[in-house]
Each structure stands twice: as structure tokens, then as C-alpha cells.
Amino acid sequence: MQLTRQRRFVTPGPDETVEALALRALPDQPVETAVDAIKSWNLHIFAMRKPAGLLLGSDVVFVEPPLS
Amino acid sequence: MFDVIVRNGLVVDGSGAQAFKGDVAVKDGRIAAVGAVQGEARQEIDAGGRVVAPGFIDPHTHFDVQLLWDGAARPALEHGVTCIVPGNCSLSLAPLRAGDRRQVVGMFQQIEEMPPEAFTTAFDWSWEDFAGYRAAIEKALSINVAPLVGHSVIRLWVMGPASQQRAATADEIAAMQDLLRECLAAGAVGLSTSFVDTDENGRPVPSRFAQFEELDALCAVLGEFDRMLQCVPEFFATDITIARIDQLAELSLKHGITTTFSPVFDNAATPDNVPRIMARVEEQFARGAKVWPQMQTRPLDLSFSFLRPSLYFARLPRWSRILRQDLDVKLHALRDPETVAKMVADAGPDGGDKMLGRLICRGGDAAPAAMVGRTLRDIAAERGQSCAQALIDLSLENGLDVAFLDASLGHENSERIGPMLAHPLVHIGASDGGAHLASFSTYGDTGYLFSEFVRKTGAMSLEQAVAKITGETADIWGLKDRGRLKPGLAADIVVFDPDTIDREAELPAFDMPGDGMRYVRAARGVETVLVNGQIAYADGAYTAARAGVVCV
């Protein structure tokens, strides 16, 4: 059965930084732009968490904005 | 000669089939006959005008520690619950080395709001492995227990402090697999994990540091044993919950396992949350995956006083931090005008009117009688104060022993909730029994299912409601010996009045170790409860029967 398309995500690799993850997920964008985008789409990691931005191996990291 | 015959009841057998008038006979702990039963029994129970059903199964509890001094998991059993699943949310009390106990107790305190005295004064903590924990609770069980083993404690056992620091190595993952095998062989019904919880220091629990590959490896072991995976997703965000559903579906399909996640809430602020989740669940089930969303029956409410830390202040970190302190430190802070000014400011430019104004002074404590039942907004207006200031002052004036209730936190629109609960792919559960002791009562969800969604709104039939919390639950969890009134199965039986079964009002009780307080609800309309053929509760009282077992 074909699944409805949902928001795409990745999970962080061991010791992966947000920069490395952003490059992996959004290779066509400059790294700073990619990092800013990743941060803006993942407030559960980069705004709500203490310490903000702590990447965990189990995290769902969205690599695109919410689908309309 | 039978041991027990329950005569003349309306038999609702847990399969969803039409109820019928008949008898249920029990011998040697098992159901011996169902229908028009001939013969005699050592004990007969007249169930005329009453429903005779399989005992209810509660799939999401945290009775892990309470079972060590209370084998009935009171008051769960008197509500008709004959089987509970503890060990949810990545936390269990085994396997756990003695040196790691304090750390895990801290997690239970933070996540499940359990008092420290519950872990230090009421039992002899003599085990480390899962078999030892099983032996410790089996000494005096009145209720059946299907325990999960927690991913966080497995990780802690294998990795020590690194369990909250980094990914596991291949060798460590292999060691976790071996340890999980040992736990499953010792009677664990499955594995629980969490994607949201933190310890008492705000640090993510160990399971959250696991790569997906680690969870995948552990699920391979679950597949070997045909056991369950339970998880707590980021329930506050629909997109993330859907991502978790997809991960669980992949694990389910790859390893042939059943998975469940909880909680799932309906809320007026996010009305598309449940519909979107269920649409994804339906798609994944259509692929063959088993990903069961657990939904509670009761509305969300929460009580607190300044005597204890509370989840209520998760939105107000300064308040939360202060209320976690020891009493003298807390009192000092609450009497400091500068600190209080900051707290009031934190509550919003309206002085907390929007956030706190709807709180109700609930009583049953040191609250002045004239305040009981009134909203904080009303009390604050009378005092000429902001809501936040009135909350602080009223608490201080009464030794902090004033409880407030927020009765409107969501999941309360029965016209919406009823059809959701009746959905064939919704697993009724998520009671959290045995946890959040001073925040809300986690008992009586089953009575509320009948009173609200069978009698009041008619969202489901009596037979459907019974099946949801008996036969269907047993099927999901692989409890092949339970959940139905069928000859040969374990004789877990509840006799209740279909016209009155309900939950009573939520009241404070001081029956925890160290005179600790918890909120409880007594049962209404539940007359007799049999566990493995023995009467464990009847006529409003618990019996001396200790027939409960650890069951898988």
C-alpha cells in the first residue's frame, strides 16, 4: 500500500553535529542556511530542550517545513 | 463440583459478541463452563441484574514499586482490573544494580511523580535482575501482572553513566540484547522506551540516547520471543508522533512484533491531532504493521499544592525550580518579594489571569472553607491581587497545604472522544495507574468508560466497551490465557451493575509509605472480582486471596 507523504525527517548519527546533519540533509544549500533551516523546523530540539540544540540519537529531525 | 458458579448474570464474554443471560463456572482457577451450567459449586454468586465479564486489563501503569507492598495495586483491583502492565515509559525496577538505584528512583520521581519514601521505607530491596524482581512481587499478588522491562534501565545496566552520554557500541548493543533476552525469559511481556522523558536533573533518560539501530536490535530480540514494544512519543506534536508511528511500523514489519504508543490526546487547540494520527495508523495497519495508539477515557485534569513538585509548572521553569526545593528553601523563596515579583511576571502580563485564573481551590486540606470550590480568579479579585500573587499568598498563609485543580486541560469533549475510543484501531489504556500520585487519580478509567461512553453518550455498546478493555487488550498484548470468558482460560471475572458502574469523586488519601499523599477514586457498581478463580474483592472489601500471577 502506498503511504501518504508525510514530513521528511532524519535521525542524527553518533556524535553528529547540527552542521554535519544539515550538510547531509540539505547538501545543496550553504551550511549556514541549512543549519538555520534545520533549527527553524525543529523547535522541539533547538528551542524547547535544555540545553537547546543537544542532539540525541533517537531524535526526529525534520528536513523540511510542515506540509501545508 | 465446581469451585464457584456465578449464576443468572448477563454474560458479556469479552469477544464483542451479544450478551446473553447465563452462568459462569470456575474450577481450579480456570473457567470451566459458560452458559446454562448444571451442577453445584462450593460457592455460588447471584449475579441477577448484573454483568459478568472478563476482568479488565490495564495496559499502561507504573505500579512497579507499589506492588512490593500492595499486591492488589489498590484501588485498581476494586475497579474490576485483574491484570496490569507496569514498567512503561522505559522505566522498570529491574534489571538494576544496587549502585544505580538512586538514579532510577530519581527518574521515577521526576517522570511519574512518586515520593522518595515509596522506594526507601516499605520493602527490602534485595534483587538486581528481572527474575529477582519478579520473585519479590510474586510473594503476595492479588492481581495479575504482565511487566514490561524498561529500555533506560537496560541501557544503564550495560553502559553505566555513558547511557546518558552517547551512542552504544556494537558490543554494548549485543550485551543489551543478551540482557533483554534474559528479562523476557524471566517473564517480561515486552520492552518499553521513551522519546520524551527526563530525569530529576532535566537530563534526557538513557533510552533517548539510543540510535535507531539500537532499538532495532532490541526489537529483533522481541521478535524472537513474540513480545511487545511500548513507547512514549512526543505526544505534544502531531508531526513528530506520525514520524514515530512510521518508525514503529518499520520495526513491527521487520521483526513481526506488535507495538503500542501512548498517550494520544484530543484537544480543542489541535483538533486535527487525533484524526491525523489515526489516518497514519490506518495506513500502517493496511501495510500489515501493528502500531496501536493508546487513548485514555478520562478528561485531563491536574491538581497541585505548593507542598510538592508538580508537572503543572512545567510551563513556568522558575516556579518549577522553586517548588522542587526543600521546604525551608521553598518558604524562603516564596517570602522574598523580589523572587515573588519575578514569579508573578513569569505568569504573564495579566498577572496569571489567563494561565491560572481558572484554577479551583479544591479543599480537603488546609484551605479556608470559604475558598473551597471557588476559582482563583474569583479569590484574587476579592483580595485585590493578581491571580499569581493570590496563589502564592493563599498558599503561604496556610502552610502551603492548599490544593488547586485545573479541570480543563483537554481530552474532555465526549462527543469527540467517544467515536475515537470506539475506533477499531484505538487501544483503550494509558491510565498511568500508580503514577502522578499527587496530580490526578489514575484509577477508575474503566468505570468512566461505561458511565460516560456507554450509558451517557452511547458511543459504544456494552459489549464493545467490555471487549475493548478485555479481549482486544489481551489479543494486542499476546495474553492468550486472559481477556475472555471461555472454558479453559484463566478465571479472571468481574461482576458489575451496568446501570451504576462508574468512578467516584477524586479524593486525597494518605496511604502511601511515609504517610505520602495520593489522589484516588473509589469504584462504584463493581460488586465482585475474581482473580484466577479466587474472590479477591467482594461487597466493598478486599479478601485475603493472593491468586495473582506474573503472566505473559
Reported as a single tens digit per residue, the pLDDT across B199-257 is 988 899 999 999 999 999 999 999 999 999 999 999 999 999 999 999 999 999 999 99
C-alpha cell at B309: 513538585
Cβ–Cβ contact B234 with A under 8 A: yes
Domains, chain B: 56-299+411-537 (3.20.20.140), 302-408 (no CATH)
Reported as a single tens digit per residue, the pLDDT across A15-34 is 999 999 999 999 999 999 99
Cβ–Cβ contact A47 with B under 8 A: no
Q: How far is B319 from chain A (nearest CA, A)?
A: 16
Q: From B145, B54, B86, B74, select the one nearest B465 (Cα to Cα).
A: B54
Model's pTM, two decimal places?
0.95
> In whole angstroms, what is the distance from residue B552 CA to residue B549 CA?
10
Predicted pLDDT at B115: 78
Beta strands in B389-482 (DSSP E): 404-406, 427-428
With CB atoms and an 8 Å threshold, state whether B243 touches A3: no
Q: What is the SS3 string spanning A28-65?
A: CCCHHHHHHHHHHHCHHHHCCCCCCCCCCCCCCEECCC
Distances (CA, A) of B185 to B147, B176, B466: 12, 14, 31
pLDDT above 90 covers a percentage of chain B that reads 89
Closest-CA residue of B relative to A55 is: B209
Distances (CA, A) of B544 to B25, B71, B247, B536: 21, 11, 45, 7
> Quick check: B181 and B224 in contact, CB under 8 A?
yes
Predicted pLDDT at B387: 97
Sequence-separated contacts (24+) of B376-382 with Cβ below 8 Å: B376/B404, B377/B353, B380/B351, B380/B353
Query: How high is the mean pLDDT in each 10-residue block of chain A (68 residues)?
Result: 93 96 96 97 91 92 94
How many helices (H) does chain B have, and how many strands (E)?
18, 23
Dihedral sign, Cα of residue B29, residue B472, residue B222, residue B94: negative
Q: Which of residues 19-38 of A touch B (CB under 8 A)?
A: none
Reported as a single tens digit per residue, the pLDDT across B462-489 is 999 999 999 999 999 999 999 999 999 9
Cβ–Cβ contact A4 with B under 8 A: yes
Q: From B145, B72, B59, select the one nearest B445 (Cα to Cα).
A: B59
Predicted pLDDT at B257: 98
Q: How many contacts, defined by CB atoms under 8 Å, are there between A and B?
A: 59
Report the complex ipTM.
0.97
Cβ–Cβ contact B279 with A under 8 A: yes
Q: Which among A4, A7, A59 has CB closest to B283? A: A4
With CB atoms and an 8 Å threshold, state whether A3 touches B287: yes
Average pLDDT, chain B: 96
Q: Is the pLDDT of residue B515 over 80?
A: no
Q: Which among A6, A9, A14 has CB closest to B167? A: A14
| B521 backbone dihedrals φ, ψ, rounded to 5° | -130, 130
Predicted pLDDT at B505: 94
Average pLDDT, chain A: 94
Which residues are within 8 A (CB) of B46 and not within 5 positions of it... i.e. 6 or more apart?
Answer: B7, B8
Cβ–Cβ contact B272 with A under 8 A: no
Q: Which of residues 236-255 of B touch A (CB under 8 A)?
A: 237, 239-240, 242-244, 246
Reported as a single tens digit per residue, the pLDDT across B104-150 is 998 988 877 777 888 888 899 999 999 999 999 999 999 999 999 99
Which residues are within 8 A (CB) of B408 and not within 5 positions of it... i.e. 6 or more apart?
Answer: B301, B358
Q: Which among A3, A57, A66 has CB closest to B209? A: A57
